[in-house]
Structure 1
């Protein structure tokens, strides 16, 4: 879930050694060995926490701040220099040479591993994210996934870590245009005062981004995590440090204290702060602020060009990080980050494990390190040396070194890999689109050939025919309300209502709650048309009717304040509309043990509706497919070669022996339980497929096709309660 900026390594010498990386040139007075070492520390933290702890270390925030410092500081100095060029194209080309080659190589390797290891149901997501990674909008692709309830249970992507590279890429281009644009317009007019203007402007942007991050974090943390605007302050703060570092003076004793505290904060951040849920909010100040302090702790040395080439007057932690092992690790940090995450994800997918053991993790890190070194040595460094400076120095470089430098062949190979990856991604997406177009016929499947739930309820015969929907069709086999945008998403707090069934009927059933109430619309619409009643929807994704003050999103337990606000609006609306019945879910799966339960926060809903004289059709919730505490997709399992049984789940794990709603009927006589469990599960097992029909389109939502096969049984239960037919 993290990434980092590529290190600024110097060219390799003829002997094969590597010069220490620098922020600028020796003449600039900003040669910082220790910051390359800090990169080494940060990449070690990122990889170790990912592989063995499944946590965010804060390393990505260190890299964001360092990226702002290196890139932003250099551009600011160029804009302030009366002689420096302000042409953006050379800078863009430089970024392309630095960032894309290694990324393309890792994406191409990941594409091959996806085909070999992942089920075809995951190839579309990989194709989408490959294009997003190459186009540097992967963070927005993931933000959309996080905010899309129907995609929230998708498996972790092998490209998920590239989100922050996209943030950095967007920052680089935006910052380049801003600073060079202002420099071009104002450099001659303002002269030395341009520095003040830029610092004030960047300070205002930093504060604005930080305030936005806090607001976005509180509103929807999962989406804010990937938001470029909520992350911009981390890079801008680094850029400000780059602009001001030459003017900072610290006594040695204070610099040493600051350096020790800053490094300790960076090292301990992942252990004490749950970054997955707390970033990019105020807690992100810990790794970012510590990084800025570490940069400034050696500010005296950086400001003194006479100290160039000697680390003697740097604080001890800075001198330690300036040693060869840390600098060498920092030199390949970009490639190491690119490799370690996909290798971890592919290994877990191949092995079927949910986490890496000590030995597994060590092997993943070792292989990642080897591949990172090879990528840095033979892809990154050669292509990066195609800078104008390298060309100017060409005649002074020995022939043996020049022969190691990038050739047209290497650049062409990387380019062809990128083109092939793009073309393959678009081709697969088109293939999936064509396959899903066949799903339009699902509503007209023969009930004899595809009995679905009738095979369980009515013991209908099941002929040997291919399953429908197919594993590729299932994703789009959705209820009509989703297709009609008649269900609010995570951000919506307004009540959205649509009418189905017999829209002219006087009898009304209100369908209210979250998506687990929503997917019954397929059957209710058919019943309403047949038996003359209207179905009015009051729906919001992931949000059942509840009195919970701080609701959580089922599955990942993140706070969902919009759900509470929506409930505060929808209940008065339901009571005012006064339908004949309210249809909603009455149970949820236990989070701590097997079976299901009726949450105590539902009782207030039953009381409010009872007081208003509105009876409730209380549907027992859908069985959720969970393994090892994580949701799983039966369609993925089937695509891997599993069958209806191996891709199912024991009934006792998802349903209690007795419907929990029955325990509240005496207290609330208007609470009318509905239970369709026997139309989904057998006596002891809930299979993935029944009657030639795939039951779930994800881990816990019914396919519309299977729902249609449950219509008769649902109608029988509703008729016995309402007496309408």
Structure 2
């Protein structure tokens, strides 16, 4: 993180010493205990990430401390009428503090990505490298979290940099706010300006906290990375920085407060599921505890009850081991997560064990120390210009500047190279995907796809299409056209395909697993005179479930229920000839697939309305033995083949279509089952007839769907009698 110690006092020779300010190193009351708290926080973050796969609350401690340190320093400068307000040097100082270590870690991550990760993951790393350098990584991750089709990209070696982006954005915003008020009001209000800042920071904190609760309840996964939902954690720290001069507590109260707050920080990760509960109200626990710990030793120099002494917990954290750990907190935070992710990718494991986890932490610590010692510290503090004593230049100062200039040049070159390489790779991928426009016109003889399974078509030896880089964008036209509601949208979006002037209508309704059949339905509609009208929402099937979850990561999805409450009345009112939707889902607890009970109410509503349902058995989801989804394009790019990247049929499909058991109860159900066009009798490969079947872990590619058109048409003809 960016919680580096304040710059040590420079030697001033015979110049008169400036009057020390409370809380600085020169005053004798510098908060070394808060340096130690940084050490505790980074230890919690790293340990919980490596061994427990949980959020410890340490990042929230960092955010609050960042607000206190940075905001407090800006407030002191703004309130000191003898200080000239200069925002540009402040920005330069931030750049010198933040970028060097970040660039080194990103450069190392780029090398490891090329060595360890398949090329299908390089684009994500390039995107997130640029986002990290531009300090908008949190928004990049928020966009990914809100995109159902990119859900597999969320765990990346750079995911942890979201919090740094939030801090960087906060620093610039707070700098602008405080300096703007100071320029306008410092002269007329003088020291009373402090209360203006207190009022403004209080208003910002309350507004951000209220927004965080609303955003958390709306879409927690997106809110987790939202700068506005996180801002209150930093503004609260800055607000405390403005209030500390007024705190007067007896020593016994300080000791109790320090003890309780430190315990809350240490135990937060054990009792609160931060991944799902933050940035909601429970975030008050780590942030509030941090604030109380700050206040437990605030202004003690002026408090006659303390004699300038720290409470026992504060003295413990002010000891050398904790302060030393806190001094390299930023670098340790940068290194531990990518090393963990790269190790898991290399080893193929889901989580680290005790031994390999300890090695990851040890290597992270060594690299953090080296980065702090030889990158952060030399470049953070500007070397003084050569000083003359009796007209003689002091040579050691000149020598000190030269290594710093060289180091700065190397880091700058790394940053430029990383940026250029990221843009170059993204351009390469864009060019390759542009050639994917020809996928719709591939020769049926050269690329039989599903016809190799259904019709035993011959398969010539040709390169697979789409390629592993083309697969990501090989999606239905409705996705490109925005004809499917995203996670945050509850509106019913209708688009028309097939023969748009036809009298007969099939309503394509449900989630993206219904949507990917549109490619074939569109072709069939134009051939057989019917139109296809979409009623689609990402990750949301037609369901009566009151508390739906996002399939795959099981996070709450309240907007799916809201959308269903809108779409079902509209479907019943529109009264299409048929509703085409999925009727099964994979089991989460055992092999095979099932028709969930919360579909039954939907079938009943359609039965009561006299609407027939084309009930399509869901596509097999590609999961490993640990029940984790995987992308076949990644597997193929990593050296796998059609078989090694596939799954056993029995693992993803039951012996019989579960929908068949409900046909007598619901005669309006017309079961469709394309499993034999996707899987062989005992195995589901990922490439058939020279065509890559999936564009992610559970959606069929548009190219493969085109090869299934004839078989789908045969089953639809039998179900509808239209041709």
TM-score (norm 1): 0.95
In the aligned structure 2, how far is the partner of 1:292 from the partner of 1:401?
A: 41
User: What's the CA shift for 1:191?
Assistant: 1.5
Task: Tell me the residue number matched to 2:14.
Answer: none
Counterparts of 1:182 and 1:13, CA distance in 2:
30
Partner of 2:428: 431
Q: Could you say if the C-alpha distance between residues 394 and 324 of structure 1 is closer, same or farther in structure 2, counting changes exceeding 3 Å?
A: farther
The 8 Å contact of residues 619 and 673 in structure 1, kept in 2 or not, is answered as yes
Matches within 5 A, 1:433-512: 433-512=430-509
Question: Which position in structure 2 is the counterpart of 1:631?
Answer: 629
1:54-103 Cα deviation digits (max 9, x unpaired): 11000000000000000001101111111112110010000000000000
Q: How does 1:211-230 map to 2 (within 5 A)?
A: 211-230=210-229
Residue 448 of structure 2 aligns to a residue in which SS?
coil
Alpha-carbon distance, 1:397 to partner: 12
Between 1:43-52 and 1:395-404, the stretch displaced more is: 395-404
**8 A Cα contact 2:693 2:704, kept in partner:** yes
| In structure 1, distance between residues paired with 2:506 and 2:257 | 66
CA contact (8 A) 1:31 1:302 kept: no
Q: Alpha carbons of 1:372 and 1:610: their partners in 2 closer, same or farther (altered >3 Å)?
A: same
Measured against aligned partners, the alpha-carbon deviations of 1:535-570 in whole angstroms (never above 9, x if no partner) come to 000001011000111111001111111111110010
**Alpha-carbon distance between aligned partners in 2 of 1:369 and 1:404, rounded to the nearest angstrom:** 27
Distance 2:122 2:209 in 1: 36
SS of the counterpart of 2:225? coil
Q: 1:522 to 1:368 in 2, by over 3 A?
A: same
CA contact (8 A) 2:507 2:535 kept: yes
- In 2, Cα distance between equivalents of 1:527 and 1:709: 12
Q: SS of the counterpart of 1:630?
A: coil
In structure 1, distance between residues paired with 2:71 and 2:713: 65
Maintained 8 Å contact 1:595/1:656: yes
> What residue is the counterpart of 2:574 in the other structure?
577
User: Which residue does the alignment assign to 2:639?
Assistant: 641
| Alpha-carbon shift at residue 12 of structure 1 (Å) | 11
Aligned to 1:593: 590
Q: Does 1:272 align with 2:293?
A: no
* Aligned counterpart, 2:37: 38
Alignment-derived partner of residue 153 in structure 2: 154
Aligned to 1:17: none
Aligned with residue 337 of structure 1, among 328, 333, 336: 333
Secondary structure in 1 aligned to 2:614? strand
| Equivalent pair of 2:632/2:646 in contact (CA under 8 Å) | yes
What is the CA–CA distance in structure 2 between the aligned matches of 1:345 and 1:599, rounded to whole Å? 35
Distance verdict in 2 for CA 1:283–1:585, change over 3 Å: same
- Residue-by-residue CA offset, 1:145-202 (whole Å, 9 max, x unaligned): 0001110122611000000000000000000000001001110111222111110111
Distance 2:297 2:387 in 1: 31
**Contact 2:387/2:397 (8 A) holds in 1:** no
SS of residue in 1 equivalent to 2:152: coil
SS of the equivalent of 2:532 reads strand
| 1:696 corresponds to | 694
Written as runs of structure 1 = structure 2, the 5 A alignment for 1:354-369 is 354-369=350-365
In 1, the alpha carbon distance for the partners of 2:191 and 2:335 equals: 44
Q: Give 1:19's aligned residue.
A: none
Partner of residue 18, structure 1: none
Say if 2:373 is the partner of 1:374.
no
Contact 1:6 1:98 in 2 (8 A): no
Helix, strand or coil at the partner of 1:626: coil
Give the match for residue 601 of structure 2.
Answer: 604
Distance in 2 (alpha carbons) for counterparts of 1:432 and 1:689: 21
Give the count of matched residue pairs. Answer: 710
Give the C-alpha shift of residue 407 in structure 1: 2.1
In 2 relative to 1, CA 267–442 (structure 1 residues): closer, same or farther, beyond 3 Å? Answer: same
Deviation string 1:586-639 (CA, Å, 9 cap, x unpaired) is: 011111111111111110100000000000000011111112121100000000
1:327 matches 2:326: no
2:550 corresponds to 1:553: yes
Q: Is the 8 A contact 1:538 1:570 kept in 2?
A: yes
State the shift of 1:343 in Å.
0.5
Q: 1:381 to 1:579 in 2, by over 3 A?
A: same
- The reply on whether 1:385 has 2:381 as its aligned counterpart is yes
Q: Secondary structure at the match of 2:497?
A: strand
Deviation digits for residues 686-717 of structure 1 (CA, Å, limit 9, x no counterpart): 11101100000011111000000000000000
Q: Given that residues 385 and 397 in structure 2 are in contact (C-alpha distance below 8 angstroms), is that contact kept between their aligned partners in structure 1?
A: no
For residues 6-155 of structure 1, the aligned pairs below 5 Å read 6-8=3-5, 10-11=7-8, 25-27=24-26, 31-154=30-153
Secondary structure of 1:536's aligned partner:
strand
Contact 1:245 1:302 in 2 (8 A): no
| Cα deviation 1:458-510 (Å, max 9, x = unaligned) | 11111111000000000010101001110000011110000000111101100
Give distance in 2, aligned partners of 1:394 and 1:546. 80
Tell me whether 215-224 or 155-164 shows the greater mean CA deviation: 155-164
Change (3 A) 1:281 1:515: same
Q: What SS does the corresponding residue of 2:551 show, helix, strand or coil? A: coil
Partner of 2:15 in structure 1? none
In structure 1, the residue matched to 2:513 is 516
Query: Distance between the aligned counterparts of 1:371 and 1:12, measured in 2?
Result: 27
Residue 292 of structure 2 corresponds to which residue in structure 1?
Answer: 293
- Using structure 2 for the length normalisation, give the TM-score: 0.96
Match of 2:16 in 1: none
Cα distance in 2, alignment partners of residues 64 and 392 from structure 1:
38
**CA distance 1:404–1:597, shift in 2 (3 Å):** farther
Q: Are the structure 2 counterparts of residues 394 and 478 from structure 1 closer, same or farther at C-alpha, using a change threshold of 3 Å?
A: farther
Shift of 1:520: 0.2
- After superposition, the CA RMSD in angstroms is 2.0
For the residue of structure 2 that corresponds to 1:152, the secondary structure is: helix
The corresponding residue for 1:724 is 722
One of 541, 564, 567 as aligned partner of 1:567: 564
Q: Does structure 2 retain, via aligned residues, the 8 Å contact 1:584–1:618?
A: yes
Provide the rounded CA distance (Å) in 2 between the counterparts of 1:80 and 1:394.
35
Query: Conserved in 1, the CA contact under 8 Å of 2:3 and 2:65?
Result: no
**SS of residue in 2 equivalent to 1:131:** helix
For residue 18 of structure 2, what is the aligned residue in structure 1? none
